[in-house]
Structure 1
Amino acid sequence: MAKNTKKKIIEAALKLFSKKGYLGATTKEIAREAKVAEVTLFRYFPSKEALFEEVINTYSFFPKLKAILSEIQDKNYIEALKIIAQNFLNLLESKKDLIKIMHSEMQRYPDQIKKIYENVIDSTVNLLSDYFKSLQKEGILRDFNTEIVARAFLGMFFSYFYVREIKECVSVQKSNIEEIIDVYVSIFANGTFRI
């Protein structure tokens, strides 16, 4: 029961943060959406900040990437990168409204909220960086700063998504995502493989 209530609150918060942003959504509205009393919401989350942090941690790419990395151990490097990229783009697409509103509000966020956002990005980058380090140890990848390269990999796909979906740039084709992934992964892999 308690787990279900917490899940309902997190889902309601995601919905309202995606619609109204962190600044616009109130705990009263979130509680109403979750069909719980506001006091119940505060039993699970002592503040709106804590609730936002839980939403970001739950729906970020970090938990998905963790699961993917344990599943791709037997895949070759290029295949593994394509799986990571496809899942990353799928997640971005499914959270498009939240990303859009967060980017429009980001400059107005309190420092604590910006820190929550930065921490989840850093955790994701570090996880991918560790994957690259393991491939370096196996002699598959050349020597490079894995954190910088992890940021570059995620950044390529986020930039494509951002221009296409958030900026709604008409010159960027919305079709053939497989081709985009193939080209980006090929360029990336060629720059990181040990020759």
Structure 2
Amino acid sequence: MDDRKPNGGETEEYQLPPRLTDKQWNIAEAALRVFSEKGFSAATTSEIAREAGISEGTIFRHFRTKKEILLALLVPLISNTIAPNSVNSIRQLLLTNENLPLREVLVLISEERQQFILSNEKLIRLILTESQYHPELREIFFREVGYKTQDVLLRFIEQRQQKGELRQDLRPWALARSWFGMLVTFTLSPFLMPERSAGEDKRKELEDVIDLFLHGALPPTGRGAAAPECPL
């Protein structure tokens, strides 16, 4: 049975145990391998049981549904592994390279995010896919990874504004959100639109993204000129 529901549908409340037993972790880790290979919807509890080396009935003594297995696996992984590793990695990068020019740091941030995603490719692909169907998963992923990463970038933007490397008349939050949006689109496009990303020059694309953030889309002679009025 597919436990997924599209966005906007009613969701069932789940009370996950604060700490999984060894048997529950064995089931959850087996489920991760099956989900990563087949996807949550196509995976069956019998396949999870076979991967875990247990009977299917044993699964239902520990978890009520396939969705409960998914959440029991991914919620602690996001909170205790993915989120702290993601945030600490970018925070350490910024601290180590705080004296480098702005453009060089933006390149390093982009490359670090790409590497982080590649290192956790199957897990992140599963999280992104299932976040569309499970609000509980989407909420914790954005809260623990997305928002906390934005906060780190916000402090970085504020520091670079104080150094005069970025415009001080723009709100730091607007700049941080703009860069974060570009960064997410750039790093996740191979997952979300693989057919569009195949064969692209990633380094050139990265340079274009950074140029767009730093200088905008207007040609050099047009920067600072009044934009023509747009008829309604």
Give the TM-score band, short-chain normalised.
0.5 to 0.7
Partner of 2:102: 77
By how many angstroms is 1:155 displaced?
2.1
Which TM-score applies when normalising by structure 2? Answer: 0.58
Partner of 2:188: 162
By how many angstroms is 1:145 displaced?
2.4
Match of 1:126 among 140, 143, 151: 151
1:28-84: CA deviations, max 9, x gaps?
98xx69xxxxxxxxxxxxx6533442133244x312111101111120111111111
**Counterpart amino acid of 1:137?**
Q
1:88-131: CA deviations, max 9, x gaps?
122223323223222221133243x3322111210100100101
Partner of 2:126: 101
Counterparts in 2 of 1:178-193, with a 5 A limit?
Answer: 178-191=203-216
After superposition, the Cα gap between the structure-2 partners of 1:76 and 1:154, relative to the gap in structure 1 and judged at 3 Å, is same
Partner of 2:79: 53
After superposition, the Cα gap between the structure-2 partners of 1:22 and 1:117, relative to the gap in structure 1 and judged at 3 Å, is farther
Counterparts in 2 of 1:107-118, with a 5 A limit?
Answer: 107-111=132-136, 113-118=137-142
Q: What is the alpha-carbon distance in structure 2 between the residues aligned to residue 25 and residue 190 of structure 1?
A: 50
| Alpha-carbon contact 1:96-1:166 (below 8 Å) kept | no
Q: What is the alpha-carbon distance in structure 2 between the residues aligned to residue 14 and residue 63 of structure 1?
A: 28
| Alpha-carbon contact 2:113-2:187 (below 8 Å) kept | no
Which TM-score applies when normalising by structure 1? Answer: 0.67
By how many angstroms is 1:158 displaced?
2.4
After superposition, the Cα gap between the structure-2 partners of 1:167 and 1:176, relative to the gap in structure 1 and judged at 3 Å, is closer
Between the two structures, name the one with larger relative contact order (CA 8 Å, sep ≥ 6): 1
Identity over the aligned pairs, expressed in percent?
20
Q: What is the alpha-carbon distance in structure 1 between the residues aligned to residue 150 and residue 206 of structure 2?
A: 19
Two-structure CA RMSD over aligned residues (Å) = 3.5
Q: What is the alpha-carbon distance in structure 2 between the residues aligned to residue 130 and residue 188 of structure 1?
A: 17
| Alpha-carbon contact 2:93-2:109 (below 8 Å) kept | yes
**Counterpart amino acid of 2:82?**
I
For these two proteins, the number of residue pairs brought into alignment is: 166
Q: Which runs of 5+ in 2 are unaligned?
A: 1-24, 54-71, 217-223, 225-232
The structure with more radius of gyration: 2
**Counterpart amino acid of 1:187?**
L
